[in-house]
Amino acid sequence: MTTFADLGLPAPVVRVLTDRGITSPFPIQTASLPDSLAGRDVLGRGRTGSGKTLAFALPVVTRLATSGARAAAAGQPRRAAGRPRALVLAPTRELANQIDETVAPLAQALGLRTTTIFGGVAQSRQVTALNAGVDIVIACPGRLEDLLGQKHLTLDDVEITVLDEADHMADLGFLPGVKRILDRTGARTQRLLFSATLDNGVDVLVKRYLHEPVTHSVDEAAAPPPQMTHHILAVSDKEAKKNVVHQLAQGTGRRVLFTRTKHQAKKLAKQLTAAGVPAVDLHGNLGQGARERNLAAFSSGAVKVLVATDIAARGIHVDDVELVVHVDPPAEHKAYLHRSGRTARAGSGGDVVTIMLPEERGDVRDLTRKARITARPQDVTPGDATVTRLVGEVAPYVEYVPPAPQQQGTPKQGGGRSRSGRRGGGQQAQAQDGRQGRQRSQGGQPGAQRGVARPASGSGGQGDSAARPDGAPRRRRRRGGRGRGAGSTNASAAG
């Protein structure tokens, strides 16, 4: 069996992988690493969850460490302010953050620095990081172009460029910006492009920017992974659908529920939380802080249910998602496959459920045919054996206790600030005390444990009175100016 050491990776990198439990390369990594480590342009094709992030992260850090050592030996600086040596382009903020989570430990082991650049947050920290000197920039095209226009960085020193989820960037209309960015890098810069498909103009990028690329395709992107089991549950009406969805959310393992609209995602997360199933939402109406907090709660296991729009269909890499539910069937088969790809990752198994109303039967038939799904519809009712089997072990009920309304002029619970500057009534105390509820079984008997209803996140019914999840105080009214009102941070999270 081929190991990472066999592929010529530096020992510090192999140690980081081993410490993270990654001991054997995936097929896309085994196939592409010899070429990418040798400096060749690579076109990698594979479905979601196939290991593409490490397939480009490993050669990027390895080659930059080598060139940096050569520069140091020649008496030149390893890095310079505003002049990154590698650029990774990603379509969404969530994907950029998750790429950085993979790349940063590998880079640090070799003395390299990374930073992320995307919109929705203040650019000051990004500019500060660039001025301090970074080796690898992981960016979304829009904010990167803004900073390039403001001359906060130049791409003249970029040695390696990576395009991740290139087909998704095309779907989102980013290709013109991607072309403008790539035109600012050297013509013979090494380029690594990873994509599930080559449609919607991705082939134009390949022809224009990759020089004699080596293509590695380890599986058929249009086909679902074999470890994924698909179910189509036909319900009689919207009320039955609501009850089946609520039941499917009650398991102990992580599950992602996809809705068609932002409003539906927010509403369903609130309904589930109120019904004793802590849930967080993820959609375009959330500010970046709320997105990160909700995703962190889901990733850590503090909350087991994520209700999302298609913003989470790509780039959200969370291990051990055991169930994906298409609460609303997507409009086309590629979205179905990408949504479904949140489970059955890295060789693990998973179930995918599509809820189908009578009027959706024709659309679902067409959708599954194009996605090459052979599952047949099953008529179900809430509580029947098919649904119960998909739920598995039922998580304890968590009673949601909304925060008590505060009267004007009265001190907040745990009042005052601690020496650290945080209020005593911050999120940690509130999560552990103010919003704890009795856990009980489905039969209604009190349980022995107490549970947190959910973290403060902008959904689930807390409203703006919830404390910030990082434990920091809410923004206070400034003297002499207009106040932002209590809970302004969470107001954006509520969408």
Which residue pairs, CB below 8 angstroms and at least 24 apart, start in 205-210?
Answer: 205/163, 205/166, 205/175, 205/178, 205/179, 206/43, 208/179, 209/161, 209/182, 210/41, 210/43
pLDDT digit string, tens, across residues 10-40? 999 999 999 998 988 988 899 999 999 999 9
Task: Report the CATH number that the domain containing residue 157 is assigned in CATH.
Answer: 3.40.50.300
Task: Write out pLDDT tens, residues 317-364.
Answer: 777 888 999 999 998 887 888 788 778 665 567 899 999 999 999 999
Assigned domain for 354 exists: no
Which one is predicted more confidently, 339 or 118?
118
Considering the domain boundaries, does residue 300 fall inside one?
A: no
Contact between 133 and 80 (Cβ < 8 Å): yes
Would you say residue 414 lies in a domain?
no
CA 9 – CA 79 distance, rounded (Å): 22
Note whether residue 299 is domain-resident.
Answer: no
Over residues 256-260, mean pLDDT: 94
Q: Beta strand pairing status for 254-258 and 305-308? A: parallel
End-to-end CA distance of the chain: 50
Instruction: Give me the residues paired with residue 450 across strands.
Output: 438
Q: How far is CA 121 from the centre of its chain?
A: 17
- Alpha-carbon distance 95 to 146, whole Å? 19
Cα–Cα dist 173/162, whole Å: 18
Tell me, yes or no, whether 261 lies in a domain: no
407: confidence class by pLDDT, cuts 50, 70, 90 = low
Buried b / exposed e across 416-442, counting CB within 10 Å, b at 16+?
A: eeeeeebbebbbebbbeebbbebbbee
Q: Please give the share of the chain, as a percent, with pLDDT higher than 70.
A: 76
Please tell me the total number of residues recorded for the chain in this structure: 495
For residue 295, report the phi and psi dihedrals to the nearest 5 degrees.
-65, -35
Segment 298-320 shows an average pLDDT of 82
For range 458-467, the mean pLDDT: 38
Residue with the two structure tokens 């001025």: 131
Rounded to two decimals, the pTM is: 0.62
Strands (E), 46-133: 86-89, 114-117
Question: Rounded to 10 degrees, what is the CA torsion of 307, 313, 316, 321?
Answer: 60
Boundaries of domain holding 20: 11-217
Q: What total number of domains does the chain contain?
A: 1
